[in-house]
Amino acid sequence: MAIETLKNKFFFGGLAIWSITPNGKILGQKIQKSVQGSTLFVSASIVQDSDNEKNTIVFKKLSKEIHLQFSAFGGHIFIFSTGIAVRMIAPLLKSKMIDPAVVVVDDNANYAISLVSGHMGGANHLAKQIADIINAIPVITTATDTNRLPSIDMIAKEQGLYIETPQNIKHVNMAFLKGAKVRLYDPFGCVKNNLPESFRIDAVNWNKKIDDQAIDDIGNVSEGESGTVFCSYETKDVSCETLVLRPRVLTVGIGCNRGTCCEDIKAFLISVLKQQGLSVNSIFRFATSDIKKDEIGLLALSQEMKIQIDFYDKNKLNSVKTIQTPSKMVEKHLGVKSVCEAAAILSAGNGQLIVPKKKNKDVTIAVAIKQ
């Protein structure tokens, strides 16, 4: 995998390279040339008058500049000691789910050390790629990697699953390390198809008892030592130690009166999902009529929830033959028999309608699932 490809896959905010010594600057320039679009930060104390490199920022105080730039990048390469790196970034770390990747490279290019966000941030991958560029040894310390075992957070990331209870990743990965099988409910096969049978026991149906009881056939491992993974768009009762993963398989068709605000649309959406036992974190698209392209409330909802809207013209909407609740009023005014149901089905790739039209005085909602 080329470093450019890895950057695009793992670092949505770009890559920052930091150097504070002459050797570090040379290494930084070498890395920068191999990583398209990366930014090199160089200490003013080592800058020469002849230096005029593209995408290079000169800083005076390292701690101040890192504090300003840390969250602005998806990954950081620190070409100085791990001690300095730890002291610089410790106050800035928030969560393994959102912290940028941090790799530390020593001044003589002996090692590329994955320091922070090895899995979710992609630092393990980045360390290996940087090591290839500078002919160094990659240092990876995450236990699942060093033991050549699966990592549930990496499986979730690679499959595009939303991790709803990230605090429980440790229970599942620890089960792998202890040689215990995890209990898995995964009707879509998102995890199952990427986790060998030797690591799991599949549950065909889900109920609270599956989650609560200790299972003897996984090697007499107690409840607290094993792991349970619930991977579904449905909301069910689970224990506080269950890792809940959400496949993004739902599309929500939305219709609304002109001028309906974002807050009102969102409130009704959440209400419908709750009534139907569906997770908001499983939505991957909103959908509606193309006459709503300038609807401020819908556009604000899309931006706030970071969910794209698909817009369909009346010919597309009328092509759907599986709507359940056509509207004569909508047909009279818009020339289509359905907006929310038809749009949801289309956005799901002609998927199955699982929630027919629900409405209040201003908003209509329908939900479909990808085939």
Collect all residues with Cβ–Cβ distance below 8 Å to 197 and sequence separation of at least 6.
none
The residues that bridge with 15 in the sheet, in sequence order, are 75
Q: Which residue did the predictor score with more confidence, 55 or 187? A: 187
Across 55-66, average pLDDT: 92
Contact 104, 115 (CB under 8 A): yes
| Residue-level pLDDT at 223 | 45
Structural tokens at position 80 = 């100085």
| Residue-level pLDDT at 217 | 40
Q: Given strand 243-246, what is the order of strands in its sheet?
A: 162-163, 243-246, 228-231, 182-185, 200-202
- pLDDT of residue 205 exceeding 50, the answer is yes
| Pairing relationship of beta strands 101-105 and 111-116 according to DSSP bridges | antiparallel
| Residue-level pLDDT at 321 | 85
Contact 336, 342 (CB under 8 A): yes
pLDDT in tens, 216-266: 443 444 444 468 999 999 999 999 999 999 999 999 999 999 999 999 999
- pLDDT of residue 1 exceeding 50, the answer is no
pLDDT in tens, 104-130: 999 999 999 999 999 999 999 999 999
Instruction: Transcribe 131-159 into DSSP letters.
Output: HHHHT-EEE---HHHHTT---HHHHHHHT
- pLDDT of residue 11 exceeding 90, the answer is no
Contact 89, 104 (CB under 8 A): no
Contact 247, 232 (CB under 8 A): yes
User: Nearest Cα to 71, choosing from 24, 25, 12?
Assistant: 12
Collect all residues with Cβ–Cβ distance below 8 Å to 97 and sequence separation of at least 6.
120, 163, 166
Across 15-44, average pLDDT: 94
Give phi and psi for 200, each to the nearest 5.
-145, 155
| Residue-level pLDDT at 221 | 41
Quote the percentage of the chain above a pLDDT of 90: 77
Cα→Cα distances 316→189, 288, 304, 330, 336, Å: 31, 11, 27, 15, 9
pLDDT bracket for residue 335 (50, 70, 90):
low
In order of their start, the domains of the chain are 3-141 (3.40.50.11220), 152-246 (no CATH), 250-369 (3.30.420.180)
pLDDT bracket for residue 13 (50, 70, 90):
low
CA angle, residues 244, 170, 230, in degrees to nearest 5: 20
The secondary structure element, H or E, covering residue 230 is strand 228-231
pLDDT bracket for residue 2 (50, 70, 90):
very low
- pLDDT of residue 48 exceeding 90, the answer is no
- pLDDT of residue 50 exceeding 70, the answer is no
Across 183-211, average pLDDT: 85
Quote the percentage of the chain above a pLDDT of 70: 88
pTM of the entire predicted model: 0.82
- pLDDT of residue 290 exceeding 80, the answer is yes
pLDDT bracket for residue 322 (50, 70, 90):
confident
- pLDDT of residue 333 exceeding 50, the answer is yes
- pLDDT of residue 213 exceeding 80, the answer is no
Total H helices, total E strands in the chain: 14, 17
Structural tokens at position 341 = 């149901």
Q: Output b/e per residue, 332-367; b: 16+ Cβ within 10 A.
A: eebebbbbbbbbbbbbbeebebebebbbeebbbbbb
Across 195-212, average pLDDT: 77
| Residue-level pLDDT at 305 | 96
The per-residue pLDDT of the chain, averaged, comes to 88
| Residue-level pLDDT at 329 | 72
Across 2-8, average pLDDT: 46
- pLDDT of residue 10 exceeding 50, the answer is no
- pLDDT of residue 168 exceeding 70, the answer is yes
Cα separation, 19 vs 28, in Å, equals 6
Alpha-carbon torsion, ordered 119, 246, 194, 12, to 10 deg? -40
Q: Output b/e per residue, 215-237; b: 16+ Cβ within 10 A.
A: beebeebeeeebbbbbbbbebbe
